[in-house]
Amino acid sequence: MTLRRSRQQHREPPSRRRWLVLAILCTSLLLAGIDLTVLQVAVPSLARDLGPSGPGLLWIVDVYSLTVAAFLIVCGTLADRVGRKRVALAGFAVFGLASLAAAFSASTLQLIAARAVLGLGTALIMAATVAILRNVFPDDRERGFAIGLWTASHSVGATLGPVIGGLLVEHFPWGSVFLVNVPIAAVVLIAGAVFIPDSRNPVPRRWDPASVALSVVGLGGFAYGLKQVASPEGLPPTALAIGGAGIALLAWFIRRQHRLAQPLLDLSLFRNRRFSVAILAVFGCFGSYVALLFLLLQWFQQTRGFSPGEAGAAIVPLAAANALGATLAPWLAGRLGDRAAMTSALASFAVALGFFALSPAVSAYPVLVLVLVVSGFGAGVIMTSGADTITSAVPPERAGEAAAIQETSFELSAGIGVAVLGSVLAVAYRLRIPEFPFLSGDQLTQVRNSVASTGAIAGHLPPDAAGTLLSTADSAFDHGIRVSVGCAALVLLVMSVATLTLLRRRPGCMCVAR
């Protein structure tokens, strides 16, 4: 009897301690969200120093989120087997060390590798913290609040990333955006070692190496093929073969999960329509939102002449509106119902991006602020309402598993959003660059490969030729940005229609709108 009570006390820490544990976990996820987007504002600076190609630049930006998505479910199974606290602490340590390596990277390949290890550290953290939350908050109501706050921390971090990155790059080298992680990760590591209780699944799922290999290699192959669309030569046969193999492996992975008695990923949750539609809406929204941050920061710096600090400050209205939307989302869902709230938010986000893509008026910053406010508010409502819908669509005992799938969709959508829309930008920009008689073949390839190289090349040209080159490149890049944003608007419009027609009303909903 005493032993049982002791174990129960170990699983359920005192009230004050559990909120301290939540603060530690939210801080770690806030840091992960910041690292998802903090690099975007530093892209022009590191592009000048490291000289990455178009695909290389995309790999630097989103290999982090794709690595997280690839390993999150695998790390969750690992945490169940060896202990959640041990995996979380390992994640904090890996995150800090990888940040240090990224800060002093001397080549594109080294930075990509460091970012991938950063993603692995984040996957360890996120997979373990979902289960820790379930253990620390046994009460359904408290656990729902904790998971909601935990999820919001990631969204807020992703929004703050470019602002923090802009301030750092304005005064320090681009590596400073990674160095800032190191002391925070150290504090979280020490606090976690002291306060986070240990737990593990007494009957963990069977570790299936084949499923692990299929999911990681399949997703990696698919991502590689997708990113090669941004190559100046188009999609090489090798990349096409690797991408096709990745898709085939992912299909094999899904088929295997249906057959296993204890699958690595329980696909039965997706039979719930509310769960599936909410995952789809969050996937489209967060992917579009993170890609919008990436595109806006490039647009401000490459065509508007903003410094990194000015570019970060320029998106503050987007960040503020996102936080406001996330705060008001529960009230809106209570008044309108989650279906109406999510549909209207998706539609408003789509309209704002459509206006950006089609109207020249956004060149005036006051008009752009209105677009940013509408976009940020809509995204905040969708991500928070979607997270609540996802966790409420499943039984309470499966809320942690649902949250893990939700976070996987967040990370995967961020990487794919940047990859797809970044590739659209690269292709649209490249098609707008004509052949110039004053450029050699190698120079023309560099210009078509990256707008960041035009300044250095123009510096070696006569004034008239330099002006023509810079003007054409700026116009082509602006066109590419608008085409990419327009594609995001179409995706969000489709998501809003799908949410309106497919999302069922929450059972027992007493909202005003019916």
* Average pLDDT across the chain, whole number: 82
Q: Are 396 and 143 in contact (CB under 8 A)?
A: yes
Residue 312 contacts residue 167 (beta carbons within 8 Å): yes
Residue 341 predicted with pLDDT over 60: yes
Q: What pLDDT band is residue 199 in, cutting at 50, 70 and 90?
A: confident
**Structural tokens at position 144:** 């729902």
- The tens digit of pLDDT for each residue in 354-367 reads 999 998 888 888 99
- Concatenating the DSSP letter of every residue in 186-247 gives HHHHHHHHHHPPP---SSPPP--HHHHHHHHHHHHHHHHHHHGGGSTT-S-HHHHHHHHHHH
pLDDT of residue 232: 53
Query: How sure is the predictor about 160, in pLDDT bands with cuts at 50, 70 and 90?
Result: confident
What is the pLDDT at residue 233?
56
Q: Which residue has the higher pLDDT, 94 or 163?
A: 94
Tokens of 468: 């023509």
The most confident of 42-46, 278-282, 331-335, 392-396, by mean pLDDT:
278-282
Give the model's confidence band at 83: pLDDT under 50 very low, under 70 low, under 90 confident, else very high.
confident
For the chain, the straight-line distance linking the first and the last C-alpha, in angstroms and rounded, comes to: 52
Amino acid, res. 239: A
> Can you tell me the distance from the alpha carbon of 228 to that of 224, in angstroms, rounded to the nearest whole number?
6
Say whether 464 sits in a helix, a strand or coil.
helix
Query: Residue 370 pLDDT > 90, yes or no?
Result: yes
Percent of the chain with pLDDT over 90: 23
Number of H helices and E strands in the chain, helices first, is 20, 0
Residues of the chain with pLDDT > 70, as a percent, come to 89
Q: Which long-range contacts (CB under 8 A, 24 or more apart) does 326-333 make?
A: 326/152, 326/155, 326/156, 326/380, 326/381, 326/383, 326/384, 327/380, 328/380, 328/381, 329/380, 329/381, 329/384, 329/385, 329/388, 330/384, 330/385, 330/388, 332/381, 332/385, 333/385, 333/388, 333/511
More confident residue, 338 or 178: 178
User: Would you place residue 203 in the very low, low, confident or very high pLDDT band (cuts 50, 70, 90)?
Assistant: low
d(C-alpha 322, C-alpha 376), whole Å: 4
What pLDDT, on a 0 to 100 scale, did the predictor assign at position 488?
A: 94
Task: For residue 466, give the nearest of 453, 477, 457, 475 by alpha carbon.
Answer: 457
Question: 1-205 in CATH: which number?
Answer: 1.20.1250.20
Least confident of 130-144, 325-339, 359-373: 130-144
pLDDT value of residue 9:
41
* pLDDT value at 392 more than 50: yes
Angle in degrees, CA 446, 447, 451, rounded to 5: 115
- Of 175-189, 391-405, 450-464, least confident by mean pLDDT is 391-405
pLDDT band (50, 70, 90) for residue 412: confident
Of 235 and 287, which is predicted with more confidence? 287
- Alpha helix positions (H), 12-83: 15-37, 43-50, 54-82
Q: Kindly state the DSSP code that residue 175 receives in the 8-state scheme.
A: T
Which amino acid, one-letter code, is at 495? M
- Report the CATH number of the 269-514 domain: 1.20.1250.20
**What length is written for the chain?**
514
The pLDDT, as a whole number, for residue 163 is 82
Instruction: Single out the residue of 432, 160, 99, 456 nearest to residue 320, CA to CA.
Output: 160
Mean pLDDT of 374-386: 89
Q: Record the tokens describing residue 139, joined without a space.
A: 């009460």
Q: What is the mean pLDDT of residues 409-424?
A: 81
pLDDT in tens, 8-54: 444 445 567 888 999 999 899 888 888 877 877 787 788 888 888 77
pLDDT of residue 506: 60
303 falls in which pLDDT band (50, 70, 90)? confident
Q: How confident is the model at residue 68 (pLDDT cuts 50, 70, 90)?
A: confident
d(CA 83, CA 221): 30
3-state secondary structure of 170: helix
pTM score of the predicted model: 0.78
